[in-house]
Amino acid sequence: MKADKIHNLTDAELRHQETDLADQLFKLKFQLNMGQTESLNKIRGMRKDIARVKTVLRAQEIAAGRKTEKK
């Protein structure tokens, strides 16, 4: 998932995306341990997508905190 797409999502959509990605990552890790797949690239990409979503969520939280402090 591209970073510009993530920046356009709302807070609720980001949280939903985070849980979906975490579920997909769990399934991929489970398949890897069972020997059904060897897609390390997918796992790495999924972890990076989760990190991007968390980063954008945190940036939005900080921005919202600064707005309330200024008022």
DSSP 38: -
Which helix or strand (DSSP H or E) is residue 57 part of? helix 40-70
Our count of domains for the chain comes to 1
Domain enclosing residue 65, as ranges: 3-70
Contacts 24+ apart (CB under 8 A), 40-49: 46/21, 49/1, 49/21
Residue 35 has pLDDT above 60, yes or no: yes
- Among 7-11, 25-29, 44-48, the least confident range: 7-11
Give CA–CA dist 5/43, Å, rounded: 20
Residue 69 has pLDDT above 60, yes or no: yes
The CATH number linked to 64 is 1.10.287.310
Q: Does the predicted model carry a pTM greater than 0.85?
A: no
